[in-house]
Amino acid sequence: MKTITIREAREGLSHPEKMFAGDEEVLVVRRGEPVARILPVGKPRPKFRSLAKFRASQESLSPPLSQTISEDREDRC
């Protein structure tokens, strides 16, 4: 990962094809603290599982939470 300062980024924006042409990401820092990350266009985004697969992978509560809430409400009345 390439690291540049805010000043270098401002100067490089006049020729972005030269400064950001590589296949690596660029970290922009101000006083040593990261403020931005510039990613190359060609990198694919990470694939996320579908919500249905995630829900199927989770354990179900026994008894169901809806039953527990109903019982708690009945106890309050």
The CATH number that applies at residue 18 is 3.40.1620
Q: Is the pLDDT of residue 54 over 90?
A: no
- Whole-number pLDDT of residue 8: 87
Q: Is residue 12 part of a domain?
A: yes
First and final C-alpha spacing in the chain: 61
Please, is 15 exposed, middle or buried when counting C-beta atoms within 10 Å of its C-beta (0-12, 13-18, 19+)? exposed
Q: Is residue 50 part of a domain?
A: no
- Whole-number pLDDT of residue 43: 58
pTM reported for the whole predicted model: 0.48
**Is the Cβ–Cβ distance between 28 and 6 less than 8 Å?**
yes
Domain count, the chain: 1
Range of the domain at 28: 2-38
CA–CA separation, 26 vs 34, rounded Å?
A: 10
**Is the Cβ–Cβ distance between 37 and 25 less than 8 Å?**
yes
Q: Is residue 15 part of a domain?
A: yes
Q: Is residue 54 part of a domain?
A: no
Q: Is residue 71 part of a domain?
A: no
Q: Is residue 13 part of a domain?
A: yes
The predicted model gives 4-20 an average pLDDT of 81
